[in-house]
Amino acid sequence: MSKSEYLDLSISTFISVTGKRSDGLGHVHEQFSDRPEFDVQIKSNQHSNTSEAKLWQNFIEIIETAIHNTEDVIIITTDEHQFTRFYNRDYLFSNIIQANEQGVALLTGGVGKFGQALPLTENRYWIDSFSSTQFVVLFSRIFNDIVTYQFKKNDLATRVLSDISSHKMTLYPFISEQRDIDNSDPIGSTEVRPAERNMLGTANERLEKIQFAYIKYIKSNPSIC
């Protein structure tokens, strides 16, 4: 698919809201206002007992909507998401298409702490685990696993999302980061916010080194592949 064809594509994008905000929705609407490639819907839930349970219930209801609409791929963000300078439509869509061809279950636009990473391309990495994200692409092959999971009292929503499939990847450079607000409920919201920001910096540094090694030793020497 050529890049020009991406202009005609849009993806159902759900903004998950689980807390009371004064400016969060205004901010996230600004993030998507001039980007028609995202078909944005708000999903709010105030009925569960904890922020993690609320977040997971939002996931369930979003996925049920996606199944009903026979979606192949959707995006879930939180209202604290903001795009980085690396975002562009072609970068996102080309990676979504290629990741789908590789059988991925989820693709994040950026992560906090992660375990191991393996470069698949210069800008897409298999990861074995992650602890937080504000922007995640979910493919239909993971939908049933999400809606049938029995969420437990001490579960963290994003840890469950991370553990539910081994077929997960992240983009790098990241296209999404966590904006600075005090009253937000990030995906993985029980993490302490300063620690969360430190994890994002560490994740960036680690993936930068892996990307450097990939470009230097693999991409520049295709004969060794």
In order along its 225 residues, the chain shows pLDDT tens digits of 555 678 889 999 999 987 655 456 788 889 999 999 999 999 886 665 678 888 899 999 999 999 999 999 999 998 889 999 999 999 999 999 999 999 999 999 999 889 999 999 999 999 999 999 999 999 999 999 999 999 999 999 999 999 999 999 999 999 999 887 544 444 544 343 555 555 667 899 999 999 999 999 988 876 665
Q: Is residue 116 part of a domain?
A: yes
Q: Is residue 3 part of a domain?
A: no
Task: Report pTM.
Answer: 0.88
Span 123-177, pLDDT tens digits: 999 999 999 999 999 999 999 999 999 999 999 999 999 999 999 999 999 999 9
Q: Which residue has the tokens 């963000």?
A: 77
How far is residue 116 CA from its own chain's centroid?
17
**Which CATH number do you get for residue 176?**
3.90.550
Long-range contacts of 67-73 (CB under 8 A, 24+ apart): 67/140, 67/143, 67/147, 69/12, 71/12, 71/140, 72/100, 72/139, 72/140, 73/11, 73/100, 73/137, 73/138, 73/139, 73/140
Of the candidates 141, 117, 164, 167, the one whose C-alpha atom is nearest the C-alpha of residue 63 is 141
Q: Is residue 182 part of a domain?
A: yes
32: containing domain: 9-224
Q: Is residue 103 part of a domain?
A: yes
Residue 179 has what pLDDT?
Answer: 83
> What's the structural domain count of the chain?
1
Q: Is residue 2 part of a domain?
A: no
Q: Is residue 19 part of a domain?
A: yes
Residue 28 has what pLDDT?
Answer: 84
Tell me the C-alpha distance between 156 and 108, whole Å: 17
Q: Is residue 128 part of a domain?
A: yes
